Structure 1
């Protein structure tokens, strides 16, 4: 395995573990000082990040990786995330690694389906 492949392989293993709800593997991929950012939340430190990711896995039915690329220190993974309440969301993760562990994960996805579901819930509540 080359250094250029290493980051993409770690990133892909992390995303697949997330999609499978495998929090042991998710945690093994993360550095203690990891920072996670998504359109909905920011968390710092392995305990906070695994809690946020673990909470979200409850609604994830799986992921289908479309592409992954990277160099020695970073990777980008594009995937479809199948969720129970929101359908399939196209997601991009940009991950930065140090010593083979993820130190930064910035997640980007269109929040339209999530916002639409929340508006429906709020209207029903009254």
Structure 2
């Protein structure tokens, strides 16, 4: 198996587990030394990153994967997330870095402005 194929398997396993709400399966793809950043939050460990996932998924009504790009130790997914909120559809890009078959960092890129208006 090539490194690029392994990268694809790990990233897709994480993406699919996260959007079906399978926190243990998503966490299994993350390294202990993990960082996450987005326009609305940051985290430095898998637990902190996934703790609010159930609440987020309560408003998600669908996800359409638009593009997947894979390299040896990085990947980028572009997708639309559909929500039952005033935000509606959110175009999102997600960049992953991997080491030794685990995701070490995720940078989530989207316009956070509509979310700031509805967050407590």
Fold similarity call, TM over 0.5:
yes
Q: Which has the larger radius of gyration?
A: 1
Matches within 5 A, 1:1-126: 1-85=1-85, 86-117=87-118
- Secondary structure at the aligned position of 1:25 is classed as helix
- Secondary structure at the aligned position of 1:13 is classed as helix
Residues 101 and 54 of structure 1: CA distance in aligned 2, closer, same or farther (over 3 Å): farther
Q: Distance in 2 between matches of 1:101 and 1:7?
A: 8
In the alignment, structure 2 segments of 5+ residues that lack a partner are none
Aligned length: 119
Contact 1:91–1:108 (8 Å) recurs in 2: yes
Residues 14 and 101 of structure 1: CA distance in aligned 2, closer, same or farther (over 3 Å): same
Structure 2 length normalisation: TM-score? 0.85
Contact 2:34–2:104 (8 Å) recurs in 1: yes
For the aligned residues, what is the CA RMSD? 1.9
Structure 1 length normalisation: TM-score? 0.82
Which segment is superposed worse, 101-110 or 4-13? 4-13
In the alignment, structure 1 segments of 5+ residues that lack a partner are 122-126
